[in-house]
Amino acid sequence: MDQTYQVVITEQAESSLKSIVDYLIQTASDSVAEKVRAGIVAELKKLARMPQKNPLLRGVDNLVITYRRVLKWSYRIIYTIEEEDLLVIVVEIDHSNRNPIELEKILI
């Protein structure tokens, strides 16, 4: 039986998505920004089913929390899973080329 998880997006992740969209509006176009936003939101919705299928996030070590990631184009959605509460917590959305050391400052 498939379980459905509740997907919670942190303020940090929401802010990052807004920054991505704002950047694309300035550097590309409104339509590109909307396409990226819609694609990322679609990926967020998919996390409600089988979030464990996505790989672990490498380069960010934490003995308490396990981070996973899903890619949409060149953007990375970083999240944790709380199995007991059936929660997926999206902690960051960023560009996949981001330096892992910068990312550690946010996640740990």
The per-residue pLDDT for range 50-102, each reduced to its tens digit, is: 999 999 988 776 768 889 999 999 999 999 999 999 999 999 999 988 766 67
- Could you tell me which residues are beta bridge partners of residue 89? 8, 80
pLDDT for res 72: 96
Tokens at 46, concatenated: 């998919």
Domain residues of the chain, as ranges? 6-107
pLDDT for res 91: 94
Give pTM, 2 decimals: 0.90
In Å, how far are 13, 36, 38, 44, 53 from 106, measured between CA atoms?
11, 23, 24, 20, 24
Q: Where are the alpha helices (DSSP H) in 8-48?
A: 11-27, 30-46
Q: What is the pLDDT of residues 3-36, one digit of tens each?
A: 899 999 999 999 999 999 999 999 999 999 999 9
In Å, how far are 60, 81, 96, 97 from 64, measured between CA atoms?
12, 12, 23, 25
Superfamily of domain 6-107: RelE-like (3.30.2310.20)
pLDDT for res 108: 57
User: When comparing pLDDT for 99 and 46, which is higher?
Assistant: 46
Could you tell me which residues come within 8 angstroms of residue 47 by beta carbon, excluding any fewer than 6 positions away?
5, 7, 70, 77, 79, 88, 90
Could you tell me which residues come within 8 angstroms of residue 73 by beta carbon, excluding any fewer than 6 positions away?
36, 39
Is it the case that residue 39 has pLDDT exceeding 60? yes
pLDDT for res 61: 65
Half-sphere exposure of 38 (CA within 13 A, CB side): 6
pLDDT for res 65: 85
> What letter represents residue 83's amino acid?
E
